[in-house]
Amino acid sequence: MSQAPLQDGSISAHSIAPAQVIRGSGAWCEALPSVGALCTQPLVLGRSQATENLRSQLCRDLTERGLTVQQQLLNHDCCEQDLQRIEAASHGLGCDAVIAAGGGKVLDAGKLLADRLNVACITVPLSAATCAGWTALSNLYSPQGAFMGDQSLRRCPDLLVFDHDLLLQAPARTLASGIADALAKWYEASVSSGSSQDGLIQQAVQMARVLRDQLLIDSVEAIRSPGGEAWRRVVDACGLTAGVIGGLGGARCRTVAAHAVHNGLTQLEDCHHVLHGEKVGFGILVQLRLEERLGGNRLAAQAHRQLLPLLQTLDLPVSLNDLGLADASLRQLQEVCQFACRDGSDLHHLPFTVTPGALMEALVGAAETSPVTS
């Protein structure tokens, strides 16, 4: 989704934040009156077996408050087939809200469904892997999990319930993934919007820098001590602050090569077990490589040296090998590069030309440390 830079004084529409955010330990119970004020017949949307018990508890809580609850399950990532099936099933049932409870793809599907049904949207993230609970944007995938494109929504959710007790039950791997995705905000926004003359975008970019600094300081401790102070700061950073940046900065402040590499990697079946942020973290390393090698950017080499050990400490993939692509064929890797370099890809927000061949080199060498030059 590439757009022309904003001209001074031109009009832009913003969906900056959910109408209400309730966060912290016990946020879900605290939010029940707000949920009841938004709807009487919510559709609760979820997906994985791992979160089934949590969703059942949410449904019981809603029923006890006198709400009529219907549940729907996704079969795939946020994909058109699932959405159309559930949209058709919900017609005539009088549902007046979608409550999406799960990871980023469930939240994306729930937001899009609520947008299409024109009903209230409530997001309940069950991991801190994503800021999807916050934003007015959904990513669409094929039933096989290949990235297809993103879709802007009319508004951010009406209510985001960010319950730390629920997030605490998610696997540590999802938080590490969220950290990588949130770190990408700085590396991408500073490239796509670093020279913007628009004040709001300048402020969003600076917020991305502060977010990065906080993650550099707190991430390792957060993973080490779930539920502790650093953990609370980091889940809020990944699930909320990352969303603020997307909301303030808008589409022009979003993604560059790190996410384009992610989108390319989703084209490979062999990579589907790898989480969104895990692919994006690898994508940041690739982007920094490109900036260094093709853009002659020395700061990028320094950033790469700083980031690589952190990603490794967090057990995040830093090489094709780590991504499960050790045995990938040249053709498969070419497919990744072709997709990432296709016309209209966010990769082209880099200030220099990237060919699929150059990208391939950066993919293969993502984890190589470059020598320190003075």
Contacts with Zn ion by CB under 5 A lie at 181
Please give the Cα distance from 353 to 330 (Å, whole number).
22
The answer to whether 258 and 184 have CB atoms below 8 angstroms apart is: yes
Residue 156 or 301: the one with the smaller Cβ distance to Zn ion is 156
C-beta of 185: minimal distance to Zn ion in Å?
9
| Nearest alpha carbon to residue 247 among 185, 184, 303 | 185
C-beta of 281: minimal distance to Zn ion in Å?
10
Count of beta carbons in the 10 Å neighbourhood of residue 331: 7
Q: Which SS3 state, helix, strand or coil, does residue 22 take?
A: strand
Residue 110 or 243: the one with the smaller Cβ distance to Zn ion is 243
CA distances from 44 to 71, 87, 99, 141, 257 (A): 5, 13, 5, 21, 35
C-beta of 78: minimal distance to Zn ion in Å?
13
C-beta of 121: minimal distance to Zn ion in Å?
20
Angle between helices 356-364 and 330-340 (to 10 degrees): 120
Nearest-CB residue for Zn ion: 181
C-beta of 240: minimal distance to Zn ion in Å?
15
The answer to whether 177 and 129 have CB atoms below 8 angstroms apart is: yes
Please give the Cα distance from 80 to 82 (Å, whole number).
6
For residue 297, give every residue at least 6 positions away whose Cβ sits within 8 Å of its Cβ, in sequence order, or none: 291
CA distances from 292 to 208, 216, 286, 373 (A): 21, 21, 10, 12
Residue 196 or 266: the one with the smaller Cβ distance to Zn ion is 266
C-beta of 236: minimal distance to Zn ion in Å?
17
C-beta of 276: minimal distance to Zn ion in Å?
6
Residue 129 or 294: the one with the smaller Cβ distance to Zn ion is 129
Residue 39 or 288: the one with the smaller Cβ distance to Zn ion is 288
Residue 82 or 181: the one with the smaller Cβ distance to Zn ion is 181
Residue 115 or 181: the one with the smaller Cβ distance to Zn ion is 181
